[in-house]
Amino acid sequence: MILDGGIKILKVNNSFLNLFEITDPPISGSRIWELDHSFWNTENMKTDLRKMIVNNEPIKNTRYSFYTKAGEKKMIRMDSKLIEKPLTKGKKNFYDIGRTTF
């Protein structure tokens, strides 16, 4: 998943959609909290995303758990990285939330 500096979704891939059982891909520019999965609305995830954006603290090898629609608990490990640094005032940062493993 690629986010902009406003925590808006720019792109997700099929692996992401399958992992979180999301049937309708999000519209580019929609907020991450609008995803059809409760994981992205947890306080822990919101806090980590805000730290990533506001404090420039990447998510590094962080473990999270969530439940599938069938009630199965899944564990994932997540990393993030800044993929475009601002060159001029007002230019947006872009973040890659990736390298998710089970």
CATH number at residue 8: 3.30.450.20
Write out the residue range of the structural domain in which residue 97 sits.
2-101
What is the spatial distance between Cα 77 and Cα 39, in angstroms, rounded to a whole number?
Answer: 13
Neighbours of 19 (CB within 10 A): 17
Number of domains, the chain: 1
The contacts of residue 98 (CB under 8 Å, 6+ apart) are 1, 78, 79, 80, 81
The one-digit pLDDT tens for each residue of the chain (102 residues) are: 888 888 889 889 998 999 999 999 999 999 998 998 999 999 999 999 989 888 888 888 899 999 999 999 998 888 888 877 654 444 455 666 665 555
Neighbours of 32 (CB within 10 A): 19
pLDDT for position 86: 56
The contacts of residue 34 (CB under 8 Å, 6+ apart) are 26
What is the spatial distance between Cα 43 and Cα 32, in angstroms, rounded to a whole number?
Answer: 13
pLDDT for position 101: 54
Smallest Cα–Cα separation from 32: which of 23, 19, 41? 41
